[in-house]
Structure 1
Amino acid sequence: MKKYLFALLFLFLSAASVIATENIAPEEVIGAVTVDTVTAKRLYDQGYIFIDVRKLEYFNYEHIRGAKHLDVNSELFTPGDLNVFANKDQPIVFYCNGAHCLGSSRASKKAVEWGWHKIHYYREGLPKWKEAGYPTASFELN
């Protein structure tokens, strides 16, 4: 009986590990430059375009000050809509909710596939930005 319980526990933990790993953003995206929080702030200070790819309600609640919004999970995430914010030769920094959010990696990958050349993947995202005390903003909804 102990063997079966041990085997069942092992299978459960293995499955949980696989599920947890699937929700971790990749360390890098081919064709994009992965940046940490210090580098992201330097790019921010240089006027790079930051795009928050989270849901609108999260963006409205809090985002990097001056960031644009384009939900990677919406039908509006198209080359045409991305081009509203930046042409293919302008640098873009994509971010979302950190390493447990796949949005910025997906957005970076799509932008590279669509031909954007200066994509920066800010994997650490808004949580680390706030932790560093960098500027954020929010929109009050009535």
Structure 2
Amino acid sequence: MYCGRTGLGLACALLLSGATVGMAVASADEMKFPLRAQYETVGVKPISTADLLAHFNNYTIIDARSEYEYQTLHIEGAESVPLSSPGFDQSVKALADKTKKPLVFYCNGTTCEKSYKAAVRAIQSGVKQVLVYDAGIFHWAEANPGKTDLLGKKMQSAGQLISKADFAAHLLSPRDFYERVMGDPNAIVLDIRDAGQRAGVSLFQMRDVHVPLDNARLEDWVSRSKQENRAMFFIDATGHQVQWLQYYLKEQGLHNYWFMKGGAKAFYDTL
């Protein structure tokens, strides 16, 4: 913009200042939602927390995460259709046809891509009205605990969410994890990876038991840990699944449990 030596100098300066502020806001927005611009170019439109709450009953809300994550924490009334499920496209199309409402997909937060990818696939499947709640489940739970289900019950407060500090307090480096397990003959070591991830390989000389991530299948082991005062050690693939498992362990009143930071991948990386 050329302002020249005129009486419009102040106005030009204000306009330039406004443009600068606008760029700063846009930059901040990109940092807050780093994937948003990329997916908006292919027709994926976001919805804010306030708008979703204000028109809550006008949408069909779909959780694109794993079934275990959904069972642990989800938006009230949301449908579980994992992006990885074989019949994903048919399921979301059927929901759109049945409810006659716009679909809103969500996952874990601003850097989680599952909700965006789910929205793209829904659009490609012919669904006309598709939105993405890219703030994610944790932001929703903090803002609207009364419309969030935690382990099958309505949340009472955002304080029920596990903090980063609480999670970190149960993390051990692969080396420390290994040394504690090998130094404790009474330790219960559970590998919660799925069969494909585990591939039949034991990380702890056959001391670790393969128990797929399922609270019903973990219940006996948790009870044994409490009754016999034995420490529990959990191994997942990359350190993400145990974040959800911790909600169940906390509900069960377990305290002496440990996770391997970075999961089995980090263990192999240290070899």
TM-score greater than 0.5 by the shorter chain: yes
Question: 1:74 — aligned with what?
Answer: 85
Distance in 1, Cα, partners of 2:135 & 2:87: 24
Report the secondary structure of 1:120's partner residue.
strand
Match of 2:149 in 1: 137
Amino acid at match of 2:52: A
How many residues align? The count is 118
In 2, distance between residues paired with 1:83 and 1:138? 27
> Alpha carbon RMSD of aligned pairs, Å?
2.2
Unaligned residue ranges in structure 1 (runs of 5+): 1-20
Match of 2:35 in 1: 25
User: What is the deviation of 1:84?
Assistant: 3.1
- Higher-Rg structure is 2
**Larger RCO: 1 or 2 (CA < 8 Å, sep 6+):** 1
Cα distance change of structure 1 residues 77 and 83 upon mapping to structure 2, 3 Å threshold: same
CA gap 1:106/1:31 in 2 versus in 1, 3 angstroms: same
Aligned to 2:112, the other structure's residue is in SS state coil
**Counterpart check, 1:126 vs 2:137:** yes
Q: Normalising by structure 1, what TM-score?
A: 0.73
For residue 115 of structure 1, report the CA deviation from its aligned partner: 1.3
Partner deviation per Cα, 1:78-100 (whole Å, 9 max, x = no partner): 2x211332229531110000112
Q: Distance in 2 between matches of 1:84 and 1:71?
A: 15
- Percent sequence identity is 27
TM-score (norm: length of structure 2): 0.40
The runs of 4+ residues in structure 1 deviating greater than 2 Å are: 24-33, 138-142
Distance 2:47 2:105 in 1: 10
Deviations, residues 74-123 of structure 1 (Å, cap 9, x unaligned): 21212x21133222953111000011210100001111111111101111
Residue 172 of structure 2 aligns with which residue?
Answer: none
Specify the SS of the correspondent of 1:74. Answer: coil
Q: Give the counterpart of 1:98 among 79, 85, 109.
A: 109
Residue number in structure 2 paired with 1:34: 46
- Once residues 125 and 52 of structure 1 are traced to their aligned partners in structure 2, the CA distance between those partners, rounded to angstroms, is 10
Q: CA deviation at 1:139?
A: 4.4
- Where does residue 11 of structure 1 map in the other structure? none
Select which of 49, 61, 70 maps to 1:50: 61
Q: Decide whether the 8 Å contact of 2:93 with 2:122 is kept in 1.
A: no
Q: 1:139 to 1:85 in 2, by over 3 A?
A: farther
Distance (whole Å) between structure 1 residues aligned to residue 129 and residue 45 of structure 2 = 8
How many Å separate the matches in 2 of 1:37 and 1:71? 22
Unaligned runs of 5+ in 2: 1-30, 153-214, 217-271
C-alpha contact 2:62 2:81 (8 A) present in aligned 1: yes
The aligned amino acid for 1:86 is: A
